[in-house]
């Protein structure tokens, strides 16, 4: 599927967990909202040579399936996650990436191998955000905490206890993108995690984390490094969306 075949809604998106089967392409304009949370502002985006960057979040892991926060823990893909990666493969292949880079964590690395888009290089800068004391805890328990700390982390306002801030993750993802751009590639595939996908989009499009919804497993985001134009955000193949809807 090419980015030109994707339609773009024009409504702003709130920060909320989104149903996996409903993600569609959205534009840079639609990612913007009227005002940031107190104390949080946008940063200017870098000016880089043109590369079409394909960002893929890994398939469903064993901890995703049980609702546990992963961070940089290293659970494997679940059987469902392997199936998701295989279903996503034709969509990724249509982009014809010239290089494939993956987080070094097992769930991303195996997803990259199942996509069969080329030899897989690993780069730890594409790891998920370090979640500190929240690692391994049920996400529902953290969301129910009356302190609101989990919601503030989602907005990029504060890190988890003993964990990594959004700005720190954004810095390392941005450095990894710049190194890819320096290789003179026209199109590169990065298989990573939800946090770095949002961090890279925030960096390249000049957006703040509060304007980006979480991305589901086994989805594809496409962004041009020169313009910051988002060609697709959190797109899943129709066969996978139907399978999730029927489950």
Query: What is the per-residue pLDDT across 55-111, written as a single tens digit (0 to 9) for each?
Result: 999 999 999 999 999 999 999 999 999 999 999 999 999 999 999 999 999 999 999
What is residue 46's predicted lDDT score, i.e. its pLDDT? 63
Residue 38 has pLDDT above 60, yes or no: no
> Model confidence at 246, in pLDDT bands (50, 70, 90)?
low
> Model confidence at 27, in pLDDT bands (50, 70, 90)?
very low
Q: Please, which residues bridge with residue 187 across strands?
A: 52
Task: Give the number of residues written for the chain.
Answer: 247
Of residues 205 and 27, the one with the higher pLDDT is 205
Residue 23 annotated to the active site = no
Region of poorest pLDDT, from 7-16, 76-85, 150-159, 232-241: 7-16
**Tens of pLDDT along 181-231?**
999 999 999 999 999 999 999 999 999 999 999 999 999 999 998 888 999
What is residue 16's predicted lDDT score, i.e. its pLDDT? 38
What is residue 227's predicted lDDT score, i.e. its pLDDT? 84
> Model confidence at 241, in pLDDT bands (50, 70, 90)?
low
Task: Put the strands of the sheet holding 187-192 in their side by side order.
Answer: 120-122, 99-102, 187-192, 52-57, 220-224, 230-235
> Model confidence at 247, in pLDDT bands (50, 70, 90)?
low
What is residue 228's predicted lDDT score, i.e. its pLDDT? 86
Give Cα separations from 238 to 7, 49, 147 (angstroms): 14, 32, 38
> Model confidence at 50, in pLDDT bands (50, 70, 90)?
confident
What are the structural domains of the chain? 16-67+76-130+166-246 (3.40.50.1240)
Q: Which residue has the tokens 């893929």?
A: 56
> Model confidence at 243, in pLDDT bands (50, 70, 90)?
low
Q: Which of 157, 173, 166 is nearest to 223 (CA)?
A: 173
What is residue 34's predicted lDDT score, i.e. its pLDDT? 39
DSSP at 24 = -
Backbone angles phi, psi at 39, to 5 degrees: 85, 5
Q: Which of 84, 128, 155, 164 is catalytic?
A: 128
Of residues 34 and 50, the one with the higher pLDDT is 50
**Tens of pLDDT along 133-192?**
999 999 999 999 999 999 999 999 999 999 999 999 999 999 999 999 999 999 999 999
Residue 128 has pLDDT above 80, yes or no: yes
For residues 149 and 216, give the distance between their C-alpha atoms in angstroms, rounded to a whole number. 21
Of residues 190 and 22, the one with the higher pLDDT is 190
Q: Which of 58, 95, 110, 155 is catalytic?
A: 58
What is residue 245's predicted lDDT score, i.e. its pLDDT? 56
What is residue 1's predicted lDDT score, i.e. its pLDDT? 44
What is residue 238's predicted lDDT score, i.e. its pLDDT? 83
């Amino acid at each position: 599927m090419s980015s030109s075949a994707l339609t773009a809604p024009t409504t702003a998106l709130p920060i909320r967990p989104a149903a996996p089967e409903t993600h569609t392409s959205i534009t840079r304009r639609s990612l913007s909202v009227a005002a940031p949370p107190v104390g949080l502002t946008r940063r200017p985006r870098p000016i880089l040579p043109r590369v079409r960057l394909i960002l893929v979040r890994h398939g469903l892991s064993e901890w995703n399936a049980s609702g546990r926060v992963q961070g940089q823990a290293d659970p494997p893909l679940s059987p469902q996650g392997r199936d998701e990666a295989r279903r996503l493969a034709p969509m990724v292949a249509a982009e014809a990436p010239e290089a494939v880079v993956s987080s070094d964590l097992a769930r991303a690395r195996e997803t990259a191998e199942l996509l069969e888009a080329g030899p897989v290089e690993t780069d730890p800068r594409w790891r998920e955000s370090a979640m500190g004391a929240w690692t391994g805890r049920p996400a529902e328990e953290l969301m129910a905490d009356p302190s609101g700390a989990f919601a503030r982390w989602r907005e990029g306002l504060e890190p988890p206890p003993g964990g990594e801030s959004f700005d720190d993750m954004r810095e390392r993802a941005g450095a990894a993108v710049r190194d890819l751009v320096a290789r003179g590639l026209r199109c590169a595939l990065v298989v990573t995690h939800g946090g770095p996908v949002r961090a890279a989009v925030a960096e390249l499009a000049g957006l703040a984390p509060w304007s980006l919804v979480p991305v589901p497993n086994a989805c594809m985001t496409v962004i041009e490094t020169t313009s910051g134009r988002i060609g697709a955000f959190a797109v899943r193949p129709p066969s996978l969306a139907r399978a999730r809807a029927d489950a």
